[in-house]
Amino acid sequence: MKKIYFLTFFLIATLMGCTQKPVNQVENTEKDAYVSMQTNKGTIVLRLYGDTPLHRNNFLKLVGDGTLDSLLFHRVIAQFMIQGGDPNSKGAPKGKMLGDGSLGYHVTAEFRNHLFHKRGALCAAREGDMVNPLKESSSSQFYIVQGRVWSEAELTMMEQRYGKHFSSEQRQAYTTVGGTPHLDGDYTVFGEVVEGMEVVDSIAAVKCDRFDRPLEDVVIEKVTVVDGDSYGGKAERK
């Protein structure tokens, strides 16, 4: 039976991953990178963290070889996230269920306590824990957090229920700009939106079918590497 992997609103299984050997031989530096993602809804500029070099370099590889060009944001849930990067979504007919595509390898998880699921976070999709206990990331599928604002009481309840601990920095972010705190520690956060969050919001607002695929295709037209200084970024993130 064909399997579709996706992330539910709370802690049930999850976003798409792959099944082959991990990517783990990349340059390990602390330099951030920046990419511009042109969609048919507008342009999103993303910072790729040097703190997660495996994911940064893998994403840059996908950008360099054009893998992401013409793919869809195939799964969209308002106040949660927008998901793209399924290689099977390129040219997919309307109504086709998507989410099980892969490039045949994993990326080793890179969890960092200071990187979390705040609004605008760029994160790696993956298969669920039962088939992926190491929480390794999909080779190409990713999501951008829209999320919502949470109360202090909700965060405390989440800590108690799921055994999590939110730092003061996390609490500040989740109670002001918002995010998806229940995903922290389970999916690798490897970047963030630095420009074009209004485009993310417009994508999150589109009408979708019962599988959360937009009724009208949201296309990633072209992704290119850009100079971070052009967007107020720096070569090294302090």
- Per-residue pLDDT of 229-238, as tens digits, reads 877 654 444 3
Q: What is the CATH number of domain 22-90+101-226?
A: 2.40.100.10
Q: How far apart (Å, rounded) are the C-alpha atoms in residues 231 and 127?
A: 33
Mean pLDDT of the chain: 89
User: Looking at residue 7, what is its pLDDT?
Assistant: 54
Give the least confident one: 10-24, 49-63, 69-83, 131-145. 10-24
- Per-residue pLDDT of 54-68, as tens digits, reads 999 999 999 999 999
What pTM was computed for the model? 0.88
**197 has a pLDDT exceeding 60:** yes
User: Looking at residue 83, what is its pLDDT?
Assistant: 98
Residue with the larger pLDDT of the pair 20 and 81: 81
Angle at CA 74, nearest 5°, toward 186 and 89?
110
Query: Residues with Cβ < 8 Å from 45, sequence gap 6 or more?
Result: 34, 35, 36, 37, 193, 194, 195, 196, 226, 231
Please report which confidence band the pLDDT of residue 228 belongs to, taking 50, 70 and 90 as the band edges.
confident
The answer to whether the beta carbons of residues 166 and 152 sit under 8 Å apart is no
Helix H or strand E encompassing 225: strand 219-226
**101 has a pLDDT exceeding 70:** yes
- Per-residue pLDDT of 9-49, as tens digits, reads 444 344 444 444 444 444 556 799 999 999 999 999 999 99
User: Looking at residue 230, what is its pLDDT?
Assistant: 76
Q: How far apart (Å, rounded) are the C-alpha atoms in residues 39 and 41?
A: 5
User: Looking at residue 30, what is its pLDDT?
Assistant: 76
- Per-residue pLDDT of 142-168, as tens digits, reads 999 999 999 999 999 999 999 999 999
Report the SS3 class of residue 37: strand
User: What DSSP string describes 174-216?
Assistant: HTTT-B-GGGTTTS-EEEEEEE-HHHHHHHHTS-B-TTS-BSS
In this structure, what token pair is assigned to residue 103? 């490039």
